[in-house]
Amino acid sequence: MSSLKYVIIGNSTAAVGAVEAIRKNDKEGRIVIIGNEKYHVYSRPLISYLLLGKTDEARMKYRGEDFYSSHQCELKLGRTAQKIDVENKCVILDSGELESYDRLLLATGSSPVVPPIPGLDKVEKKFTFTTLDDAKALDEALFEGTRVLILGAGLIGLKCAEGISKKKVEITCVDLSPKVLSSILDDQSSEIVKKHLEDHHIRFYLNRQVTGFEGNKAILNDQTKIPFDVLVLAVGVRPNISLLKEAGGRTNRGILIDDHCRTSIPDIYAAGDCCESVDVSSGETKIMALLPNAYMQGECAGMNMSGVDYIFDKAIPMNAIGLFGKHILTAGTYTGNTYFESDDQNNYKKLFYSNNRLNGFILIGNIEKAGIYTALIRERTPLDTIDFELICQTPGLMAFNRETRAEKLGGVMNVSVGSTIGISRAE
């Protein structure tokens, strides 16, 4: 057991999850991390907060300075894995080095999609927005009054917009979808968010597509021309699956894994944004490129790699996003009947349920105790075991029955000094 060698390709969230799990079970085995970025592990979603000035590179570190040494990891940063030799159980690096493995984890993440738009290659100042280097490069291109065109009004595009707004740039956002945040909001909530963003001077061209670039002008399908100085491509990300695919492993859009985070090739595991996994809120297999899932899949892979039978089968889509002070929390799938509340302060709550289960929710503004809803989705809690009407109005433990509450808050009380002198109030 103690002689195992673990190789992890990738140095982000899923890799950390795996390292922390492996070291719970195996203090001796070698762990080698291969990462193509030169940085200590940092939180990718924080790049927009970096531009906004709400964090800095030191605080962006996802784990402390001593993470690698305290977990006895050997680092090979600035290197790219080029091929997996399945037969000889080794990874071939761009430097020509061979790294043999007993257990291999692919935590390769995803890459921004660069759409094939005519004239795009001639656009000088174009950026993607998923890495720290992306953020630094974009930041250097921005000055007060710079006209920025963002392709994509999804999570990445809008967080980028918020981040760069600090520099007093002019922001225009184009998206094929008629809605902002179309992957996580319904029509009505999307409209609230769009208005909020427009109040912060972001201009939208929705339901529109860039059909070409003429120098620094984007031409839309309705012939609108948008001049810009800087272009940000935020149309989506694509899982990095080529290593496994070329090695003969099963892939779809993402790497296919089971509930132990095993790929179809023995001793090769995968976790994080490079994978497809089962969304328990819908039962569908899909890509859920989200940080919490990446950590938990990495952890699951690490446990199994180090010999502990461990299952992660509770992945759901879940997003917490703040934009110009407005908080949006969503989870699950938007199917079934709805419970709906909103007010003139733009607080918005919609719950989706069917077949005695909560499937999903959208909360804007008042996000208090949202995790209680998330837990109902994740655990597939039968709604007839709780006071569903109450929990719709007020998320809380009160909606559970007395036994469940007692269990959640500490089990049946052991007799303690306090309880022997207490006044019994209930019953």
Partner 1 sequence: MKRVYVNEKWCLGCHLCEYYCAFASTGEKDMARALKDIKINPRIRVEERNGISFAVSCRHCTEPLCVKGCITGALSKSGGIITVDRNKCIGCFTCILSCPYGAVSPSEDGAIQKCELCVKTHEGTPRCVSGCPNGAIVFEERGE
Residues that bind partner 1 (CB under 8 A): 17, 43, 45-46, 49, 54-55, 59-64, 291-292, 295-296, 299, 318-322, 327, 329, 331, 367-372, 374-375, 390, 395-398, 402, 405-406, 408-411, 413-414, 416-427
Residue (345 or 420) nearer to partner 1, CB: 420
Q: CA dist 352 to 6, 193, 373, 390, Å?
A: 42, 20, 11, 15
3-state secondary structure 295-333: HHHHHHHHHHHCCCCCCCCCCCCEEEEEECCEEEEEEEC
CB 28 → partner 1: shortest distance, Å? 23
Q: Shortest approach of partner 1 to residue 216 CB, angstroms?
A: 33
Question: Between residues 114 and 320, which has the closer beta carbon with respect to partner 1?
Answer: 320
CB-nearer residue toward partner 1: 1 or 426: 426
418 CB neighbour count, 10 Å cutoff: 8
- Dig out the tokens for 225 from the structure: 């021309």
Q: How crowded is residue 7: how many other Cβ atoms within 10 Å of its Cβ?
A: 25
Helix or strand holding residue 158 (H, E): helix 155-164
Q: Between residues 99 and 162, which has the closer beta carbon with respect to partner 1?
A: 162
CB of 53 to partner 1, least distance (A): 11
Contact predicate 111/274, CB 8 Å: no
How far apart are the C-alpha atoms of 263 and 422, rounded to whole Å?
A: 56
Reading phi first (left if > 0) and then psi (alpha if -120 to 50, else beta), residue 50 is in: alpha
Backbone angles phi, psi at 139, to 5 degrees: -55, -40
Q: Which is nearer to partner 1, 6 or 49 (CB)?
A: 49
CB of 309 to partner 1, least distance (A): 16
Nearer to partner 1 among residue 218 and residue 370 (C-beta): 370
CA 68 to chain centre: 23
Between 147 and 369, name the residue whose CB sits nearer to partner 1. 369
Q: In the complex, what is the shortest distance from the CB of residue 32 to partner 1, in angstroms, rounded to a whole number? A: 22
- Provide the minimum distance between the beta carbon of 211 and partner 1 in the complex, in angstroms, as a whole number: 35
Tokens 């520099």 belong to which residue?
Answer: 167
**Taking the complex as a whole, how short is the minimal distance between the CB of residue 55 and partner 1, in angstroms?**
6
Q: Which is nearer to partner 1, 98 or 406 (CB)?
A: 406
Shortest approach of partner 1 to residue 380 CB, angstroms?
13
Residue 1 or 421 having the CB closest to partner 1: 421
Which of 2, 67, 81 has the alpha carbon at shortest distance from 34? 81
Burial 284-320 (b: 16+ CB within 10 A, else e): ebebbbbbebbbbbbbbbbbbbbeeebebebbbbbbb
Report, in Å, the least distance between residue 175 CB and partner 1.
23
> Which residue's entry shows tokens 């993440």?
109
